[in-house]
Amino acid sequence: MTPVSAKGSFTADRVRLGVIGAGNIADMNVAGYLEHDRCDVVAVCDTDKDLAAAAAARWGASGVFTNLDDLLAEPDVDAVEILTPTHLHYDHVLAAVAAGKHVSCQKPLANTVAEAREMGAAAQAAGVTLRVSECFWHYPPLERAKKLIADGAIGQPTNVRIRTIVGQTDAPFQAGLRADGYVWRLNNLSPGGHLFDDMVHKYALALWLFDQDIVSVQAVVRRRDLFFEPCQAIFEYEDPGLLGSMEVSYAPKMWMRSSYYGADEFVEVQGDEGFLWVTRCTGEMLDLPAMMLYRGDEKELAMTGYSDMDSDWATGFKRSSAHFVDSLLAGTLPDMTAEEAAKVLQLCFAVYQAGNSKLPVDPRSIEGSVTPTGWADW
């Protein structure tokens, strides 16, 4: 994959950040900015004034706004983090770009591929940076896995399996989430349910791990409890020697350890000389090292457990935010670009289309959006 995006110039020695949206996931995304020694969170905007004021107090921001245009008119805001509902991203990103602000936007970037590409083109024309915040690309066990794969630790990759399980947890984080932050995810303001809202992380992971496009998708998609979408999908990569699978299961009566959501992920990459596992992401379901590597040849068989790395899921959020600041200060292109985000959306919609049609789908053929059969029919 070749990233295509604008790189905005940045001449100041600090980044002054405005946060747009102070809802459920805001603290997770802002933590990395607060810890960065060259970033100041200076303004917060939310239509709920009390929510905005409370967030500003927590983050030490002096500006509190309920109107987006008012925040964007502030000359001391260099960049914004957009954490609003997905269906609002298009308007909010275009407004920020038009105001000359650098933009980091929560996933998914948009509700359609065409919108994502239009947003990227607008940023490029304005000479500002637009990137999508993707915590999985900055989660230490996955970063280590990607490097080991690139370094040939398991030989030539032949298969990847990405498994997500959604269950229950008693984590204070999940118990403290505001229910009204999920209403828009359950109706036609969203093109789909869990496979759109959460699994974009895993689609992004499937593309990023190997820096290859996926050229064909087959899938079976089911529906549970309005939002959840158990799924089995098969991916064919550009390299015909590499295949992938994605499994999503829903177990509403199964409890698991987690400091965050009642969910977890398991990633297995097979190569012709060995394999590696990333055994946890969101939750802490298994008593195993966060990453394990097996390598075997005629002379030696070896299993290595990597227990020395930070496997806190929140670290991926912090590192992603820090990456945005660092890229602005260094004048380098941050990930994920708008074009990469568009490819993630194409993969997401290809899974829905393959599930609807029961036929293979080339993700690269999708320019709009695809909704699963029966979505929002209530």
Say how far apart CA 33 and CA 39 lie, in whole Å: 6
Q: Would you say the CATH fold of 140-310+349-355 matches that of 15-136+317-334?
A: no
pLDDT at 4: 32
95-143 per-position pLDDT tens digit: 999 999 999 999 999 999 999 999 999 999 999 999 999 999 999 999 9
As to burial, measured by CB atoms within 10 angstroms (0-12 exposed, 13-18 middle, 19+ buried), residue 321 is buried
Say how far apart CA 222 and CA 241 lie, in whole Å: 29
Top CATH class, 140-310+349-355: alpha beta
pLDDT at 378: 58
pLDDT at 181: 87
pLDDT at 5: 38
Query: What residues does each domain of the chain span?
Result: 15-136+317-334, 140-310+349-355
The CATH number, out of the four listed (3.40.50.720, 1.10.3720.10, 3.50.50.60, 3.40.50.150), of the domain defined by the range 15-136+317-334 = 3.40.50.720
Encoded tokens for 187: 């109706």
Indicate the average pLDDT of the chain: 95
Share of the chain above pLDDT 90, in %: 92
Q: Looking at residues 291-296, what average pLDDT do you find? A: 94
Q: Looking at residues 271-276, what average pLDDT do you find? A: 96
306-325 per-position pLDDT tens digit: 999 999 999 999 999 999 99
pLDDT at 90 over 50: yes
Say how far apart CA 147 and CA 159 lie, in whole Å: 16
Q: Give ∠ CA 186-189-193 in degrees, rounded to 5.
A: 40
pLDDT at 348: 98
Predicted confidence band of residue 7 (pLDDT cuts 50, 70, 90):
very low
pTM, entire model: 0.95
Say how far apart CA 200 and CA 106 lie, in whole Å: 11
pLDDT at 10: 73
pLDDT at 2: 31
Share of the chain above pLDDT 70, in %: 97
pLDDT at 9: 63
pLDDT at 1: 36
pLDDT at 253 over 80: yes
pLDDT at 345 over 50: yes
